[in-house]
Chains A and B, each alone.
Chain A
């Protein structure tokens, strides 16, 4: 029995596209258009509010910053999206970034110790070997994840939580051992000064181009190949996928390798960007930004749902908001980065449910929880604004939030009573 009666198809009815996987015509869905609009709105708002108006006066410089950061996040956000659509989760991407960079630097150090320690060019062959070693490491880590998840049958969260912790430690140990063996002193850093890496650092369009190509390839892969369809099927209903004869273990192997290898690729760009392989801090916590980008872009953590254009827009949106806030408040964006990502995720997912909230008669501030949530949210808003823009503004924002939320609460209670009255 269907919960709701199915629409009765009329003979000769025009096929009505309703599939969520592929929609004919148009790259973007309604939610993704909204995301695009939000990106433009954030840019416009920051242009106006920022007292230096840097988006207006120095647009190229700002674009370059955002593009670099977006590409670095986006490359492994694509991997995160594929894993999430396949119904899994990869918490180890940040550690994979660190390990990848370390493996690359270690390989180059082993092959050309004098050149590396003297900050001289090591030559394209050595660089290629380092990069290949990194990508191979990504493949191995992906394989390890798939093995832990399909053969040992660990939940993906547990398996990648273990490697999140373990791989970073491994990267550090590798770095210290390699530096002890090939350089005079043991170190938790390996400097990378080859001109090829410098070229990547100085030419922001290289990571952007890599990101763009990878996004198109991933998008084609998910929407136009059998493997991509199997990824969606696996994430949507694993048992049914297996009973349909899909080798679900193989699909998972692919998904986790794709996730780890995109993180490995991103790790190379991190090294280029910072001219150093730093296993202790590089990419720390960035896996959550990648997951956030995928979620903001419409991927569902229950699997089966999500698109690559959405993920790309999600990554752009996150980086634009972070950059815009840093332009407005003129302090380092890194301080507030986590806060911004958190708020954006909450707003983006809430925004996607606004329709449900309105039509389902659900309340945002119900009962005692709602009453307690009002001062919580107001205090939080006030504190954040106070730290960003001074105490007066903070107090004003806090009071404003208190009034708005109280108003919402009153309105919700009234309309709930009205509904109750209208029903006999």
Chain B
């Protein structure tokens, strides 16, 4: 697809007027208007449920509005599907990955627009070359022939971005493109965006991350509860103001870690190595050692694929059992063959990908929370609704879950509240060690701050917390110590006082010995 040139330079790239969209039981958008000038980078900010994604789905033809009008490059449009939008020059990078896992990367990038030879057969060579070129422009070396499902989430997100770039659309909508990317990958994406803008592409950028928004955007539109709050030039506002608009109140998220006193050593890891057969690197993690004390938060920093998740999974007995090294719990060597054993030993893991590894969409809130402690919800051997409700009331209150009730559908909750439910599930097992794998990914600012306070409170109650995060500020806010992994090896450890983003990034990208 070739770029669609703006009809005339003075007409707006996008004009959406009075867009209203209702879903059963909720008004997702209530008369929202948006105007994006040609060639600008326009950021849309708002908490989860503010309507950002819905607005973009309407713009890109995924959903249809109940009311309102849309103009693209000055001509009114009514998209019946994404194909219509793509023909009008609008491409969207979805936040939720929409890739076919069993197809190779190149096939995904050209899905539905496959290049063909003169005989009408698939021209794999050309597609692979083109795909390679696109991925190179993102400065990543993903093999176009690799099975998409075998890639890490961060790489999959880059493939998704390459797919949108392949359309060469005049308007590119990016819905939280960096939610699964490391800082280095995000920086590459920012360079790509700069390249697109140099060619005159209009960018609509949705993000929670204020730093990114303020680096990239010319103008910022804030939505809250399906309504338009403000549209301002970047120079006329600051992060604090935008955050306040998003949450509707002032937020104070200072440092949380001060004044904690670590207790006894509870977890001791020596020379942990998890092999990775059939991979050039040979290991997922290699020779990693660390100590964790009660009442302490240790942060694990690292790029995607550095082995953060694998480290936590190995401790929890959820990884392949062929690891070597030593894990000591209270001085006793342990080797969990199943998460059930780790759970019984007082370890909890809040897994990385909430939807895939944490939530039970078919179960209600109470059943999601009570799952690990169902034995306490029984009366005379049978599950009792009232006991279960009483059991989950504690963690629901403690973690601050906002839900219509314990029997509400978990899928109706926002991402932050879902994550609180999963933390609450584990609190019921009375863990002494809490493993948190990127717990605030894809969660909005307000809920993120609440989760930070919750994690800090749990730590102060004596829990030992091992925390990974794809956002360095989060580690710097929460952790007492930060351990950096690069390609499965431990490359540095910083105390909270000495750590800076710069140092951590250097350790995460290089191989400097500790």
Binding site for B on A (CB under 8 A): 1-9, 13-24, 220, 223-226, 228-230, 232-233, 235-237, 239-247, 304-305, 361, 419-420, 423-424
Contacts and interface: CB of A to CB of B under 8 A. Distances in A.
Given A15-B407, A22-B385, A229-B383, A236 B362 contact: yes
Interface stretch (B47-55, B130-138, B187-195, B292-300): B47-55
Listed from nearest, the 7 A-B pairs whose CB atoms lie closest are A15-B405, A19-B364, A5-B49, A245-B343, A423-B78, A304-B362, A236-B362
19 contacts: A1-B415, A2-B53, A4-B54, A5-B50, A6-B26, A7-B26, A16-B405, A17-B407, A19-B367, A20-B362, A23-B407, A225-B382, A232-B363, A240-B351, A243-B339, A244-B343, A246-B371, A420-B78, A424-B70
Given A5-B50, A423-B78, A14 B405 contact: yes
A367 to B, nearest CB: 13
Contacts of B343: 244-245
Contacts of B381: 225
Interface string B68-86: 0110000010101000000
A247 B371 CA distance: 12
Interface residues of B, number: 72
Contact of B357 (A3, A13, A243): A243
A243 B412 contact: no
A361 B66 CA distance: 12
Contacts of A305: 362
Nearest to B412: A6
B169 interface: no
Given A2-B415, A16-B405, A243 B318 contact: yes
A18 B342 contact: no
Contact of B362 (A8, A21, A223, A239): A21
B364 A244 contact: no
A82 to B, nearest CB: 15
A20 B364 contact: yes
Interface string B352-365: 00001111111111
B374 interface: yes
Nearest to A85: B362
A16 B80 CA distance: 35
Interface of B: 23, 25-26, 28, 48-54, 64-65, 69-70, 76, 78, 80, 95-96, 175-176, 225-226, 316, 318, 338-340, 342-344, 349, 351, 356-367, 371-372, 374-375, 378, 381-383, 385, 402-409, 412-415, 417, 425, 429, 442, 444
Contacts of B175: 1
A389 B122 CA distance: 51
Nearest to B364: A19
Given A236-B362, A243-B318, A424 B414 contact: no
Contact of B408 (A19, A236, A244, A247): A19
Given A15-B405, A245-B344, 8 more contacts: A5-B50, A24-B385, A223-B383, A232-B360, A232-B367, A245-B372, A304-B360, A361-B64
Nearest to B429: A245
A20 B407 CA distance: 9
B78 A1 contact: no
A2 B414 contact: yes
Contacts of A226: 374-375, 378, 383
B495 to A, nearest CB: 31
Contact of B360 (A4, A225, A237): A237
B417 A4 contact: no
Contacts of B225: 5, 8
Given A239-B357, A304-B360, A244 B414 contact: no
Contacts of A9: 402-404
A4 B28 contact: yes
B26 A224 contact: no
A361 B357 CA distance: 33
B347 to A, nearest CB: 10
A21 B383 contact: no
A5 B349 contact: no
